[in-house]
Amino acid sequence: MKPNNSTAIFFAKNLYSHAPIRESIYSSFASFIAVLILLVVVHYASFGGAFSLLVLASMGASAFLLFAVPHSPMSQPWPVVGGHFLSSVIGVACAQWIDSPALATATAVAISIFAMHWLQCLHPPSAATAMIAVLGGPEIHAIGWQFCYEVVVINAGTMVLLAIMFNNLIPGRRYPLLHSHHPHHAQFTDSDLKPYAELKEDDFKWALGQIDGVIDVSTEDLVDLYEFAVEHAKNKKVTR
């Protein structure tokens, strides 16, 4: 039986209510510094003075993913850089080849989502980059394809580099994720809880493949959550 909307809302509320306040502080401060540095970098970077570089509004949404949920599959380097670049190429193409701005925008977003699915670089803010390429006005249209390989790549690449720097300074974070487990995984594997650990990693991979839709969590994180839950259940039995 699939969860209904009320179940999903209940899960979301529990997810956010259990996030420590320090995580909110870390995420907010890291995003503040990252966006500030991005603005400084873009302000002073130039390519022969041909045009002024731009800070994309979609980088604000990327900053949220990179620093609030850095372990999300959608926050990893390839989805961030690949998603933004791919969407910008599609957006510029639509702007140049489709006369109607409304049709060009809708087409750019739709094709970007399909392409990101296909190339496994889903990053929601990238759809906004596709829209910027179409609706950004004369300044964006004038630089054409340069918008993709200079403006977008510099914006997204800078954000990823800053995410690598800052997230790895924050306790408990691993970025990029590189399909690694929480340190607790090794302890669990060596513990006496093995009789409870009937589910294996390939079981979780199979289960994810049975769900209609994208679940924004890695297999490794699902396994880690399961192991923590098993350990907690075992401890509750002992204390009763």
Task: State pLDDT tens for residues 41-59.
Answer: 887 765 544 445 688 999 9
Q: Which residues are within 8 A (CB) of 145 and not within 5 positions of it... i.e. 6 or more apart?
A: 89, 92
C-alpha–C-alpha distance, residues 86 and 93, integer Å: 11
3-state secondary structure of 17: helix
3-state secondary structure of 49: coil
pLDDT score, position 109: 98
- Check residue 82 and report its DSSP letter: I
Q: Where does the chain have alpha helices with state H?
A: 5-17, 21-44, 58-68, 77, 83-97, 101-118, 125-135, 138-143, 146, 153-167, 184-190, 201-209, 219-239
Residue 3 confidence class, pLDDT cut points 50, 70, 90: very low
Encoded amino acid at 131, one letter: M
Pick from 61, 50, 58, 57: nearest CA to 139: 50
Q: By CB neighbour count within 10 A (0-12 exposed, 13-18 middle, 19+ buried), where does 199 fall?
A: middle
pTM of the entire structure? 0.76
Q: Which residues are within 8 A (CB) of 110 and not within 5 positions of it... i.e. 6 or more apart?
A: none
- Check residue 191 and report its DSSP letter: S
Residue 11 confidence class, pLDDT cut points 50, 70, 90: very low
C-alpha–C-alpha distance, residues 145 and 148, integer Å: 5
C-alpha–C-alpha distance, residues 62 and 74, integer Å: 10
Which of the residue ranges 9-13, 26-30, 93-97, 209-213 would you say has the lowest mean pLDDT?
Answer: 9-13
Domain boundaries, the chain: 23-167, 184-239
C-alpha–C-alpha distance, residues 193 and 190, integer Å: 8
| pLDDT, greater one: 183 or 124 | 124
